[in-house]
Structure 1
Amino acid sequence: MTIKEALTTLPQYLLPHHFLSEVMSKLTHSECKIWKNLFIKTVINLYNVDMSEAKDHNLDRYASFNQFFTRELKEGVRSFPTAANAVACPADGAVSQAGAIKEGQIFQAKGKSFSAVDLLGGDTVRAQPFSDGIFTTIYLSPKNYHRLHMPFTGTLREMIHIPGRLFSVNTATTNSVPGLFARNERVACIFDTEAGPMALVLVGAIFVSSIETVWHGVVTPPTIASVREWQYQENAPVLERGQEMGRFNMGSTIIVLFGNDAIKWEDRLQANQQVRLGEIIGKTQ
């Protein structure tokens, strides 16, 4: 850990993560026109948000900052592959890491790893299909589009809401906090696909006011003390590749897991690589 990373990370252990996120939620959902427009313009300028891709670039038509943050894209500015074996990128962002899951361990950064069992809520049976599979972790910055889409067609099997802290998920914190993505509050969605099981894990972070899915709505808040689970059997939702599956109300990270010998990532899918929603990141084997 560098001195800069320490100064960024160590104070976070003392912060009241969920309280701060609740305050941010109230601010981002405020419909005070002066406040929300100031907030929107500040973020656009600070992070160089490309509003030319937004379906609606008139800031007055966003009732709150959160509506702006989860804005839709114009039709046609992103496309998804048509080849049956293609795996699409689920979000705009940057690759934090990508590679093999080795004996159930997922690489985080700088010698730090976390287990698939911990990531998926402590259930060894749930995690077993991914124990020697592959993963990619994609970080969404404030400038990115914050809706998440299906990388591969799947039938929803279960959803798990796992309690935890809300550390930042920026590079400094990822390099410094052991087991970060298995410590933060998160929502794991397990799908059955033609390539075997696929897990999409939506990881919360400081100031992420909520995580929601298209079939359930807002999953968090509320803050919880123990794991919550939803099983889907009869009439389970089937989501096609490219279909919206969820969103972050404020930004964070999505982790994609596949099982052993199911998918081969594209060679260019490396740490720090910028990625765009819909581009091919892998293919079935």
Structure 2
Amino acid sequence: MSPITALTYVLPHRFLSSLARRLAYSTNPRTKQWLIDTVVRKFDVNLSEALEPDATRYATFNHFFTRALKPGAREPDADPRALLMPADGRISECGRIGFAGEAEHEDPGHVFQAKGHGFSTAELLGDERAAQDFIGGTFATVYLSPRDYHRVHMPWTGTLRETVHVPGRLFSVGVDAVGSVSKLFARNERVVCHFDTDFGPMAMVMVGALLVSGVETVWGGVEIPPYGGPIVVKDYRGQGIVVERFAEMARFNYGSTVIVLFPKGVAELASALGPQAPVKLGERLATLKV
């Protein structure tokens, strides 16, 4: 564990994230431009593919960070049976739920994190009943770095059933933290989005992180903050909220992680995927088997 990761155990996570949010929404020209220029330079952000390529035209850092892309900058895989990559970034981990490597894990709901760390699907979703839908299924964890496009899109068309805001910590989700902090993704603040699809349930988990000042959905607006508090469940059954394959479903304010869960027997992951594989929105995440 690096000294920086060790330090995050004692940092005031929510205070720092609240402060980051204030800075991200600041309209002070010097403040917002310094933040934008620093991130563009440090992380080599490619603004040529942004709908607004001029870094000085963004009203706030948050507008820059959640920038839209030019039409055609990302396209969905042409195969109609392809389940799509939900975001730009890198694969943190992917595989079969309940399996670690070649051997079945003692917990059939186990989701592998990295370097021997993992967590149960129930811990991730905050719901033991909902976790049963994904036993033996498939998962993929995509890490979005500060340089990446920060809108998350749908792998497949789904009808929104409910969202669950699960309170938690706000650890970093960088490579060292993922390899060092036990059950990191099941400990961090997150919004779980449950969809019904033509192959069954699908879950999209938007995981917050240190200095991530918010998570927004296209149907509900700001979901995080508030930070902490009780688990909040929002029932959308019967409201007919359908989000199409490849359409935007949510966005992060600063880098974080999205985890996608599919039921057993539904998806065969793309063969090229593995830890730290670079990925782009719309590429093939998996192939539909049913």
Bin of the TM-score, shorter chain as denominator length: over 0.9
**Residue 141 of structure 2, aligned match among 137, 143, 147:** 137
Secondary structure of the corresponding residue to residue 168 of structure 2:
coil
Output the CA distance in 2 between the equivalents of 1:272 and 1:172: 12
Contact 1:197-1:259 within 8 A present in 2 as well? yes
Gaps of 5+ in 1: none
Aligned position for 1:91: 87
Contact 1:195-1:263 within 8 A present in 2 as well? no
Contact 1:49-1:143 within 8 A present in 2 as well? yes
Q: Deviations over 1:68-97 (max 9, x none)?
A: 000000011100134331101000000000
Aligned position for 2:34: 38
Output the CA distance in 2 between the equivalents of 1:224 and 1:170: 22
Output the CA distance in 1 between the equivalents of 2:18 and 2:122: 28
Contact 2:161-2:235 within 8 A present in 1 as well? yes
With the length of structure 1 as denominator, give the TM-score of the two structures: 0.96
1:283 paired to 2:276? no
In the alignment of these two chains, the number of paired residues is 280
Mapping of residues 61-76 of structure 1, within 5 Å: 61-76=57-72
**Residue 55 of structure 1, aligned match among 39, 51, 57:** 51
Contact 2:189-2:228 within 8 A present in 1 as well? no
1:109 paired to 2:114? yes
Q: Which shows bigger deviation, 245-254 or 55-64? A: 55-64
Deviation at 1:11, TM superposition (A): 1.1
Deviation at 1:21, TM superposition (A): 0.2
Aligned position for 1:157: 161
Deviating above 6 A after TM superposition, structure 1's stretches of 4 or more consecutive aligned residues are none
Aligned position for 1:118: 123
Secondary structure of the corresponding residue to residue 13 of structure 1:
coil
Q: Deviations over 1:128-177 (max 9, x none)?
A: 01121110000000000000000111111110000000000000000000
Contact 1:69-1:146 within 8 A present in 2 as well? yes
Aligned position for 2:199: 195
Output the CA distance in 2 between the equivalents of 1:35 and 1:230: 36
1:218 paired to 2:222? yes
Contact 1:188-1:201 within 8 A present in 2 as well? yes
1:271 paired to 2:275? yes
Output the CA distance in 2 between the equivalents of 1:190 and 1:170: 26
